[in-house]
Amino acid sequence: MKAHHTYTNLIKELHRHKSKARQESARRFFKTGKGEYSEHDVWIGVSVPDIRKIARSYSHLSYVECSTLLSSSVHEERLLALFILVRMYQTSDTHGKENILRLYLSHTKHINNWDLVDSSAYQIIGEYVRENRKSALLKKLAKSKNLWERRIAIVATFSYIKNGIDTPTHEISNILLNDREDLIHKAVGWMLREAGKRVSEKQLCSFLDIYANQMPRTMLRYAIERLPERKRLYYMNK
């Protein structure tokens, strides 16, 4: 009864922050047209700072409640579930982290927008595979038919980047080099750029020396964004 009461309060609090103006803004910002990736998504218009604030107050939610929240048709409810799971993961023991990992992987069909992936993939999947040397999981996700699992794979490598390691980013980028989706092109370019900035520009350039002429233009532009102008021009004209 108490758990149900807590969950009900959470939903009520989230919906108290909704705004018609923000709802309309979200519909314009995300691609909601027919056949686009957010066509069936539902927004109620709650800001990300408000969602983060609510998550801090409900980080004791049960796995069952998190699963219910993460399966919601409402975008902000799914984002709230992910913020809560990230906070839970950071304070869990090994067994708890494994439970959260399994919950996350069993709900990837609901982690179906770029902001949902980018707010959780490296903090949960990335941290788990890095800490447990399970990088094979990233390669499996990178080869998935599910667009969002492929994006999870590359964004998860940010955990390695933040710890001074760029090899997994280059490996997953190589797998996704010929991906057809623009959202993957942007994510791969973003992670390559971060690896070059935070870990090794030399290693980034070595990767680009081999693959720049195979990379989709968006991916390449994102990857070279922080390089000196001379190098940017070289790779764009390679």
- Rounded to whole angstroms, how far apart are CA atoms 159 and 136? 15
State whether 6 and 109 are in the same domain: yes
pLDDT tens digits, one per residue of 69-122: 999 999 999 999 999 999 999 999 999 999 999 999 999 999 999 999 999 999
Domain limit, last residue, from 92, 113, 134: 113
End-to-end CA distance of the chain: 64
User: Structurally, how many domains does the chain consist of?
Assistant: 2
> How is residue 71 written in tokens?
């399966």
Q: What is the residue-averaged pLDDT of the chain?
A: 95
The residue segments making up the domain with residue 74 are: 1-113
pLDDT score, position 1: 38
pLDDT tens digits, one per residue of 27-63: 888 887 788 888 889 999 999 999 999 999 998 899 9
pLDDT score, position 4: 60
User: Chain-centre distance of CA 56, in angstroms?
Assistant: 20
Is residue 157 within 8 Å of 134, Cβ to Cβ?
no
Is residue 194 within 8 Å of 157, Cβ to Cβ?
no
- Rounded to whole angstroms, how far apart are CA atoms 218 and 227? 15
State whether 39 and 92 are in the same domain: yes
- Give 132's contacts (C-beta < 8 A, 6+ positions apart): none
Is residue 41 within 8 Å of 113, Cβ to Cβ?
yes
CATH code, domain with 140: 1.25.10.90
- Give the residue from 219, 215, 149 showing the smallest Cα distance to 178: 215
pLDDT tens digits, one per residue of 109-161: 999 999 999 999 999 999 999 999 999 999 999 999 999 999 999 999 999 99
Q: Collapse the DSSP code of 157 into the 3-class scheme (helix H, G, I; strand E, B; otherwise coil) and give the result.
A: coil
Domain limit, last residue, from 98, 113, 128: 113
State whether 59 and 160 are in the same domain: no
DSSP class per residue in 57-111: H-TT--HHHHHHHHT-SBHHHHHHHHHHHHHHHHH--HHHHHHHHHHHHTTTTT-
Q: What is the pTM of this model?
A: 0.95
Q: Between these two residues, 6 and 219, which has the higher pLDDT value? A: 219
- Give the residue from 108, 149, 114, 150 showing the smallest Cα distance to 36: 114
The mean-pLDDT minimum among 2-16, 50-64, 194-208 falls in 2-16
State whether 12 and 104 are in the same domain: yes
- Rounded to whole angstroms, how far apart are CA atoms 228 and 225? 8
Domain limit, last residue, from 113, 140, 163: 113
pLDDT tens digits, one per residue of 158-184: 999 999 999 999 999 999 999 999 999
